[in-house]
Amino acid sequence: MTQAYGELERIFRRLALLGEASGLLQWDMAAVMPEGGAAIRGEQLAELRVVAHETLTHPRVAELLDRAERDEAGTLEGWRRANLREMRRGWRHSNALPADLVAAMSRSVSECEMQWREARKANDFEGLRPRLQRVLDLVVESARIKAAAFGVSPYDALVDEYEPGADAASIQATFDQLAAFLPGMIEEIIARQARGPAILPPRGPFPAGRQRALAEKLMAAVGFDFAHGRLDTSHHPFCGGVPEDVRITTRWDEQDFTRGLMGVLHETGHAMYERGLPAAMRLQPAGAARGMVLHESQSLLVEMQACRSREFVSFLAPLAAEALGGAGPEWGVDNLHRLYTKVSRGLIRVDADEATYPCHVILRFRLERALVAGDMKLVDLPGAWRAGMRELVGIEPPDDRDGCLQDIHWPGGAWGYFPTYTLGALAAAQFFEAAVAAVPAIPDALSRGDFAPLIYWVRQHVHAKASTDSTAAIVEAATGRGLGVDAFRRHLERRYLAR
C-alpha cells in the first residue's frame, strides 16, 4: 500500500465509528429514550452526521482518492481493491450534498419520527403532514442534487443509497413479472386454504415476558450470540447496533404471540448477517453489508424460508406450548403450520404473508415514486393509499392508522428503501433453494432447531462477501443464476399449492 491508500483506510475507519455511534443513538431513541430527550437527540445526531460529512468531503479525501486510484487501482490485492471502489462510492454520495442540507435532513427526520409515533396513535395524518412535507422536500432536494451529479433520475439516486446499482426501470420490470402471476396465485391459495381444515387460533393472553423468553430461546437456536447483542421493544421492529453489539427490537401483542415471535426471527436474520461480516475488513467500506436487498434476503431466509417451514414448526410447536401454557389441538404442528402459512388480504405490511407482501411493497414503490417526481401531492396520499390497497391487495384500510401512517420509513427519511424488501424475498428464495440443493440435510436439521448447516452455507456464500462485489454477482455466484422471480414462484407453489 502507498501512503495515500493507508491514510484513506484510517479516515474511513473514523467515519465508520462515527456512523456506528449515530446508529446506537438512533436505537436508544427508538427503544428507551424518554420523549423529553427528542430535541437534544436530534441535535446530537445532526452534529455527528455533519462531522462525518465534513470529514468525508474535505478536499484532502478527494486528493487521496485520486492518488490511490492512479497509483494503486491495479496493484491493490484482495478486498482492498473493492475497498477503494467503495470509498469512492461513499465519497460521491456525500460530496454531492452540502453540509447544511445534511444537518437539516437529520433534524427534520428526528422531529418527524417522534411526531409519527403520536400521529399514528391518534390516526392524525393531517397533524403529521407539515413535518412529513418538510422531510419530503429535503429528500427531493437531495435526490435532485445527486441525480444531477450522477446522471440518473432523482428516484434512482435515492434507491442507490439502499441498493447500489439498482434503478426504477429494473425494479419495475421485476415487479411486472410478479404482478403477472401473483394475483391469480393468491386467489388460488386462498380458495384452497378455505377448503382445508379450519385454523384454531391459540387463545391468549400471552404475557410479553413469556413471549420474550421463548423468542430468546429461538434466537439462540438460530445462532444469535447474547454476549454480542440484545432484544428490546420499540414501536416498529428493527435491527441496529454494530456487529459486536447487535440491537434487535420487536413489538408484542398479548393476544397474538405469532406476530412478535416472527418479527424477532426476521430481525435475527439481519443480526446474523451483521455478525457474519468478515472481521478482517471491519470498519472499512468493503466490509459493510452490501445493500438492503441482501440484508432483507437474510432476514427473510430465516423468517420465511426456514422458520415458516413445516420442519421448523415441528420444532417450535412443543416449545411454544410449554412456554405459553398452551394445550389442545390448536398447539399441534399441523394447526400452527397452517396458522403460520395462512394467506389473507391484510392491511399491515409487517404482518403480511409472503404471498401478498409484494403487493404492499409495489404500492409503496408506486406512491413514493409519484411523490418524489411531484406527480402526486402529499395531501392526496391517504386517498391514493386506499385506492392502491383496493387494487393491489383487495382490501381498504378504514383509517390512516392502518393505512399511510403504518410505516416509519417515510417519516424517517428512508425513501427508495421499500423495493428492497421484495427484491430481498426473491433473493432469499434463490439462496434457500441453492443451499438445500448443496446441503440436503438442511430441512431435517431445522426440524431439530439446528440452523448450523444453513447458517454455514450463507456465511460462505453471502456474509463473507460483504461489499467486495455487487449484489448481482453475489447472487449469481451463490445460486448459479441472476436474481429473478422463478425461485420465489417455485417456493410459493411448493409451500401452498403442492398436491
User: How many residues in the chain?
Assistant: 499
Segment 275-303, tens digit of pLDDT: 999 999 999 999 999 999 999 999 999 99
Q: What's the pLDDT at 234?
A: 87
Domain ranges of the chain: 3-151, 170-497
Which amino acid does the sequence have at 110? S
Query: Pick the residue with more confidence: 77 or 241?
Result: 241
pLDDT band at 73 (very low <50, low <70, confident <90, very high): low
pLDDT band at 38 (very low <50, low <70, confident <90, very high): confident
- The DSSP result for 293-331, as a single string, is HHHHHHHHIIIIIITTSHHHHHHHHHHHHHHHT--SGGG
pLDDT band at 72 (very low <50, low <70, confident <90, very high): confident
Average pLDDT score over residue span 366-383 = 97
Strand partners, 239: 248
Strand partners, 240: 247
- For residue 98 the three cell numbers come to 452540502
Q: What's the pLDDT at 499?
A: 67
pLDDT band at 1 (very low <50, low <70, confident <90, very high): low
Average pLDDT score over residue span 225-253 = 92
Catalytic residues: 267
Q: What's the pLDDT at 125?
A: 98
- Cβ proximity of 57 and 102 under 8 Å: no
Which of 45-54, 65-74, 440-449, 467-476 is the least confident region? 65-74
- Cβ proximity of 360 and 393 under 8 Å: yes
pLDDT band at 369 (very low <50, low <70, confident <90, very high): very high
- Cβ proximity of 272 and 298 under 8 Å: yes
Percent of the chain at pLDDT > 90 equals 89
Class of domain 170-497: mainly alpha
Residue whose C-alpha is closest to residue 496's, from 202, 177, 182, 267: 182
CB atoms within 10 A of CB 318: 13
pLDDT, mean over the chain? 95
Residues 6+ apart with CB under 8 A from 128: 112, 115, 116, 119, 405, 411
Average pLDDT score over residue span 456-468 = 97
